């Protein structure tokens, strides 16, 4: 099919055809994916491979479905809990999987000439940005880059850094114009205005009412609408507030009821409590969507939304991350959210990642963005900066893991300190910050040598094991080194895997009545973790390694013994979607342990059985993707 490209798409494709790597900075919804599709199409014609990386598994899964429709059996996916067609010429994967392949199995990338980084500005993410930075630093020399980014003002600096480490030109393509322009509105004092300066008269006005705003949006023909909320319970509460309003006509109601029932039947959700609660809302054209829901139920809601039968959806911000769910309007519940441990004003870049979902290309001539402003919580000048100010620069968040340091030491020995000078952190930082970063790398290396991960100039057996255990290196490697892992049975391995990945909510307690074997494992892990913490304190390594949490142990044991998902939810106060997510993460950790060349065949066989028993029903991500 003949494509008509916009200016920036033509520019990027021209550079790609000339063999250049390209970084594209363009607003959400501008059409960056068309450039990626061109790379895939031309690469398949030339019989060369392409890697497509995405920041979240939901986006990886969506791209797999989308591209499979276009490119059929040429598409495969690897996300840690899904592996379909893993030797395909076009492989979609999370950026973590790609980074791990670069460091652990670089030979598997020899047939791939392009890597596409979707949402490459994620290098700025405090928790996971290091993965993007390491992927770009250690990228095989034969691979070209296509980076797709939201608007970033320092794109030239970013490209210059990549040029400096790979010694080849990186072209930048910038598009500032939106294909569908945005029109901004503000709710304050229970009134809606379209000039931010008008907010001054509402300083001590009436509180904002949801019904009044939704009614205004509806009367302005602003549906469908995505309502962004910064809390799961808040999303559910606001959806319930609207439950008495019907947004559908008779035919739409019949259509959505039939589709919802058939999708719930397909995904085995007929008895799920949340699915039953949502049924009443869905019939009115209302839904909510957040990480606490079952992944299969989230997919059902996404399908209803793309079918244009959901008119108002209350959702958290992950709905904006690359997943193709545009609407006519976007509403912000507020302009403040949690960043780490503190509530802060939204970043302009994050605001536009969400606001950019307003305005459907080819359908709407403009998109509408509504911000609910509480003048007791945010000043007008702060709101103005968020909405009309320049987006933040991309900054390095580098924090090399123990696994990365072990992989680099194996390759470079003590020369690994020179590798830091090729990082974005070094490129952007002042002398003092560079010195601190080098001291942290040196401290981690000293700890690894002191604790027997490195012997002489080579990795010891424990070091070989640790180099693939990204994120959980020390706790898992000490369990391995003391031969505790090998002594655990299949059930206990599942409990350990769930414990190392789990992050409790504030004040969340461990359920009472842990089994005897879990209490024993918990005590062992706590003793080992105390030693880890003392070592890290001695070498001045902060933050400390993650502590294992045993809040899901009883639920995991029950699941491993074949208990139904409904019943295991009673054994934990964790949201059902989170239980599935942590069980899937546990499977991924077990696979990483099993993939280690240092793991014995006895341990590998036990892990294989543990994964088989965990990975069933709603936990089986591969089954979900196949069924969808």
Could you report the per-residue pLDDT of 563-597, keeping only the tens digit for each? 999 999 999 999 999 999 999 999 999 999 999 99
Q: How much of the chain, in percent, has pLDDT values that exceed 90?
A: 83
Number of domains in the chain: 3
State how far the Cα of 190 lies from the Cα of 213, in Å rounded to an integer: 8
Q: Is residue 65 part of a domain?
A: yes
The reported pLDDT for the residue numbered 560 is 97
Q: For 63-88, what is each residue's pLDDT tens digit?
A: 999 999 899 999 999 998 889 999 99
Using the structure block, give the residue that is written with the tokens 């393509």.
173
Residues 55 and 189 reside in one and the same domain: no
Q: State the average pLDDT over residues 120-132.
A: 93
- Checking DSSP bridges between strand 312-315 and strand 286-289, what pairing results, if any? parallel
In the predicted model, what is the mean pLDDT of the chain? 93
State how far the Cα of 344 lies from the Cα of 377, in Å rounded to an integer: 10
Q: Could you tell me the residue range of the domain that residue 99 belongs to?
A: 7-174
Q: Is residue 429 part of a domain?
A: no
Q: State the average pLDDT over residues 252-281.
A: 94
Q: State the average pLDDT over residues 90-115.
A: 95
Using the structure block, give the residue that is written with the tokens 């099919």.
1
Q: State the average pLDDT over residues 161-165.
A: 96
The reported pLDDT for the residue numbered 512 is 86
State how far the Cα of 407 lies from the Cα of 554, in Å rounded to an integer: 36
State how far the Cα of 269 lies from the Cα of 297, in Å rounded to an integer: 7
The reported pLDDT for the residue numbered 39 is 98
CATH code, domain with 27:
3.40.50.300
Q: Is 6's pLDDT higher than 60?
A: yes
Last residue of a domain, one of 362, 388, 414: 388
Last residue of a domain, one of 338, 366, 388: 388
Q: Is residue 353 part of a domain?
A: yes
Residues 165 and 27 reside in one and the same domain: yes
The reported pLDDT for the residue numbered 375 is 85
Residues 146 and 286 reside in one and the same domain: no
The first and second tokens of residue 435, run together, are 């010195």
Q: State the average pLDDT over residues 610-621.
A: 95
pLDDT band at 460 (very low <50, low <70, confident <90, very high): very high
Q: State the average pLDDT over residues 222-247.
A: 95
Which residues are registered as beta bridge partners of 455?
458
The reported pLDDT for the residue numbered 396 is 95
Sheet holding 367-372, edge to edge: 191-193, 182-188, 367-372, 329-332, 225-228, 312-315, 286-289
Q: Is 547's pLDDT higher than 70?
A: yes
State how far the Cα of 583 lies from the Cα of 619, in Å rounded to an integer: 7
CA 430 to chain centroid, in Å, comes to: 30
Last residue of a domain, one of 336, 364, 388: 388
Question: In Å, how far are 449, 484, 535, 596 from 460, measured between CA atoms?
Answer: 9, 18, 19, 13
Residues 149 and 206 reside in one and the same domain: no
pLDDT band at 613 (very low <50, low <70, confident <90, very high): very high
The reported pLDDT for the residue numbered 302 is 92
The pTM score is 0.92
Residues 199 and 312 reside in one and the same domain: yes
The reported pLDDT for the residue numbered 151 is 83
Residues 188 and 170 reside in one and the same domain: no
Length of the chain counted residue by residue = 628
Q: What DSSP state is assigned to residue 358?
A: B
Residues 203 and 146 reside in one and the same domain: no
Residue 342: half-sphere exposure toward Cβ, Cα within 13 Å: 2
pLDDT band at 627 (very low <50, low <70, confident <90, very high): confident
340: left (phi over 0), alpha (psi -120 to 50) or beta: left
Residues 139 and 244 reside in one and the same domain: no
What sign for the dihedral angle of Cα 513, 517, 523, 526?
negative
Q: Is residue 143 part of a domain?
A: yes
Q: Is 498's pLDDT higher than 80?
A: yes
CATH code, domain with 509:
1.10.3380.30
Single out the residue of 118, 168, 164, 160 nearest to residue 142, CA to CA.
168
Q: Which of 6-15, 25-34, 434-443, 449-458 has the lowest mean pLDDT?
A: 25-34
Q: Is 1's pLDDT higher than 60?
A: no
Helix (H), strand (E) at residue 13: helix 7-17
Q: Is residue 474 part of a domain?
A: yes
Q: Is residue 397 part of a domain?
A: no
Residues 493 and 376 reside in one and the same domain: no
The reported pLDDT for the residue numbered 152 is 86
State how far the Cα of 170 lies from the Cα of 146, in Å rounded to an integer: 9
Using the structure block, give the residue that is written with the tokens 């123990």.
402
Residues 186 and 165 reside in one and the same domain: no
Helix 95-104 to helix 402-412 angle (10° resolution) is 30
CA 216 to chain centroid, in Å, comes to: 34
Q: Is residue 405 part of a domain?
A: no
Q: For 313-368, what is each residue's pLDDT tens digit?
A: 999 987 766 567 779 999 999 999 988 778 899 999 999 989 999 998 888 899 99
Q: Is residue 412 part of a domain?
A: no
Beta strands in 38-104 (DSSP E): 49-54, 75-78, 83-84, 90-94
State how far the Cα of 518 lies from the Cα of 491, in Å rounded to an integer: 10
Residues 298 and 363 reside in one and the same domain: yes
State how far the Cα of 56 lies from the Cα of 212, in Å rounded to an integer: 35
Could you count the other beta carbons within 10 Å of the beta carbon of residue 98? 24
Residues 192 and 91 reside in one and the same domain: no
Q: For 176-213, what is each residue's pLDDT tens digit?
A: 998 899 999 999 888 899 999 898 877 665 678 899 99
Q: What DSSP state is assigned to residue 224?
A: S
Q: Is 295's pLDDT higher than 80?
A: yes
Beta strands in 21-100 (DSSP E): 21-25, 49-54, 75-78, 83-84, 90-94
């Amino acid at each position: 099919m003949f494509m008509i490209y916009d200016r920036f798409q033509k520019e990027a494709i021209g550079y790609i055809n000339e063999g250049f790597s390209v970084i594209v900075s363009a607003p959400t919804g501008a059409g960056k994916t068309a450039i990626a599709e061109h790379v895939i199409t031309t690469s398949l014609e030339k019989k060369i491979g392409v890697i497509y990386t995405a920041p979240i598994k939901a986006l990886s899964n969506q791209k797999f479905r989308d591209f499979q429709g276009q490119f059929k059996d040429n598409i495969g996916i690897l996300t840690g809990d899904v592996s379909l067609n893993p030797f395909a010429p076009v492989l979609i994967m999370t950026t973590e999987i790609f980074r791990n392949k670069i460091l652990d199995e670089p030979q598997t990338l020899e047939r791939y000439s392009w890597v596409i980084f979707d949402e490459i500005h994620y290098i700025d993410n405090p928790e996971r940005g290091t993965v993007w930075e390491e992927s770009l630093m250690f990228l095989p020399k034969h691979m070209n880059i296509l980076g797709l980014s939201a608007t970033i003002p320092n794109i030239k600096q970013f490209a210059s850094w990549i040029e400096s480490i790979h010694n080849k030109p990186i072209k930048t393509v910038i598009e500032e114009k939106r294909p569908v322009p945005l029109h901004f509105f503000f709710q304050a004092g229970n009134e809606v205005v379209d000039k931010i300066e008008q907010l001054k008269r509402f300083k001590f006005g009436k509180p904002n009412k949801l019904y009044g705003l939704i009614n205004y949006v509806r009367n302005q023909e602003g549906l469908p609408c995505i309502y962004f909320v910064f809390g799961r319970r808040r999303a559910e509460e606001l959806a319930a507030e609207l439950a008495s309003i019907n947004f559908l006509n008779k035919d739409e109601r019949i259509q959505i009821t039939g589709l919802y029932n058939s999708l719930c039947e397909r995904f085995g959700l007929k008895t799920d409590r949340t699915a039953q609660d949502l049924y009443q809302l869905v019939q009115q054209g209302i839904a909510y969507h957040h990480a606490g829901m079952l992944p299969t139920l989230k997919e059902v809601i996404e399908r209803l939304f793309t079918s244009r039968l959901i008119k108002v959806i209350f959702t958290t911000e992950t709905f904006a991350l690359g997943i193709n769910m545009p609407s006519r309007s976007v509403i912000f519940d507020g302009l403040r959210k949690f960043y780490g441990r503190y509530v802060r004003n939204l970043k302009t870049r994050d605001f536009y990642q969400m606001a950019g979902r307003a305005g459907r290309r080819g359908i709407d001539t403009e998109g509408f963005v509504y911000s609910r402003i509480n003048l007791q919580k945010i000043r007008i000048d702060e709101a103005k900066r968020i909405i009309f100010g320049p987006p933040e620069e991309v900054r390095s968040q580098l924090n090399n893991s123990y696994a990365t340091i072990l992989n680099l030491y194996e390759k470079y020995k003590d020369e690994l300190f020179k590798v830091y000078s090729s990082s974005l952190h070094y490129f952007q930082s002042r002398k003092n910050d560079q010195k601190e970063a080098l001291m942290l790398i040196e401290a981690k290396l000293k700890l690894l040598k002191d604790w027997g991960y490195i012997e002489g100039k080579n990795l010891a057996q424990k070091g070989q094991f640790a180099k693939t255990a990204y994120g959980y290196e020390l706790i898992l490697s000490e369990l391995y080194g003391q031969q505790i892992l090998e002594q655990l049975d299949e059930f206990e391995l599942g409990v350990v895997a769930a414990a190392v990945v789990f992050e409790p909510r504030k004040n969340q307690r461990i359920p009472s009545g842990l089994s005897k074997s879990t209490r024993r494992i918990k005590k062992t892990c706590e003793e080992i973790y105390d030693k880890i913490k003392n070592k890290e304190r001695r070498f001045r390594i902060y933050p400390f390694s993650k502590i294992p949490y045993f809040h899901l142990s009883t639920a995991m044991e029950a699941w491993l013994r074949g208990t139904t998902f409904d019943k295991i939810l009673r054994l934990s106060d964790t949201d059902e979607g989170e239980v599935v997510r942590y069980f899937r993460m546990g499977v991924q950790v077990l696979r990483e342990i099993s993939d280690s060349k240092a793991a014995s065949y006895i341990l590998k066989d036990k892990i294989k059985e543990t994964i088989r028993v965990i990975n069933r029903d709603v936990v089986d991500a591969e089954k979900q993707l196949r069924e969808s």
